Amino acid sequence: MNIIVCVKQVPGTTKVAVDENTGVLLRSGVEAKLNPYDLYALETAVQIKQTYGATITVITMGPPQAAEAVREAFALGADNGIMLTDMAFAGADTLATAYALAGGIGTRCKYDLIVCGKQTTDGDTAQVGPSLAEFLDIPHMSNVISIDKAGSENIHVSADIGEYVGAYEIKLPCAITVDKGIYVPRLPSYKRMLESVKQEITVLGLEDLADTNPKMYGLSGSPTQVEKIYQPEAEAGQVIIDGSPNDIASRLCHELRELKYL
């Protein structure tokens, strides 16, 4: 089985803020990391490989430094790595991202199964997986919580649909997004980590894709546009309570009584 795992490099912290005086986004100074949800996707692929045999290819889109995320994936068990990087891909929303990934996968890979993490920690949208499946014209199932059986023609999974858990037989090729807790992600292997430095990453640009129209990618290919970004304002009419813990507790008790919670 050929498995593709989609990964993304995300900021190592969520502490990006806007400087109130200059309006400039303040840098975090903390390094980028592999999206934590992708660890579950990688582990799912590795588990399938161990049980049924498979080749795992990770794919990512991002600036050149996103290669680090691919190397991290090598250390966690990926066999091959593909990176989509091109100025034409910059400023992509989820649609343009999925379209580029679909292009990279569609033109470069033989695949049976695509595994994505549930969502990323920087965007939190959970949209790229289903969107990617649509562009590749393959079925998808989101929120998969277990892989029940994998064959050459289909895969059996259970997915958390909110009100219920459903069991499904999905024809291959297909895409799944996996929830946290499907498997416990392994720690990176030190041996693999050393080897990963030498491992080759296939780098693809716009010209390497089947559709080379730059209007389909990056900002130009993104229907959604950021009109403005801003820091949320503090609400007016706030009551500030400070003092000794004893005083604070008395004030809070008083307020809770006023609000009829006591």
| Residues 152 to 191 in contact with other proteins, rule: CB under 8 A | 156, 160-171, 174, 180-181
Choices 45-53, 73-81, 103-111, 140-148 (CB under 8 A): range interacting with other proteins: 140-148
Contacts of 236 (CB under 8 A, 6+ apart): none
**Site for other proteins contains 142 (CB under 8 A):** yes
Q: How far lies 180's CA from each of 44, 60, 166, in Å?
A: 11, 20, 17
CB closer to other proteins out of 187 and 226: 226
Closest contact distance (angstroms) between CB of 83 and other proteins is 11
The size of the chain, in residues, is: 262
Query: CB-hemisphere CA count at 13 Å for 37?
Result: 23
Contacts of 130 (CB under 8 A, 6+ apart): 140, 142, 175, 177
Tell me whether residue 231 is exposed, middle or buried, using C-beta atoms within 10 angstroms of its C-beta: 0 to 12, 13 to 18, 19 or more. Answer: exposed
Choices 39-47, 72-80, 108-116, 213-221 (CB under 8 A): range interacting with other proteins: 213-221
Beta bridge partners of 34: 9
Closest contact distance (angstroms) between CB of 195 and other proteins is 27
Residues 100-119, mask of contacts with other proteins (x by CB under 8 A): -------------------x
**Which position among 184, 187, 197, 229 is part of the footprint of other proteins (CB under 8 A)?**
229
**Site for other proteins contains 127 (CB under 8 A):** yes
Residue among 6, 2, 75 nearest 35 (CA): 6
Residues 31-70, mask of contacts with other proteins (x by CB under 8 A): -----x-------------------------xxxx-----
Q: Does residue 50 contact residue 70 with C-beta atoms inside 8 Å?
A: no
Q: Which pair of structure tokens corresponds to residue 38?
A: 């992708």
CB closer to other proteins out of 191 and 207: 207
Choices 74-82, 106-114, 184-192, 236-244 (CB under 8 A): range interacting with other proteins: 236-244
Q: Residues 6 to 35: which contact other proteins by CB under 8 A?
A: 10-11, 14-18, 22-28
**Site for other proteins contains 89 (CB under 8 A):** yes
**Site for other proteins contains 200 (CB under 8 A):** no
- Taking the CA atoms of residue 116, residue 93, residue 104 and residue 58 in that order, the dihedral angle to the nearest 10 degrees is -30
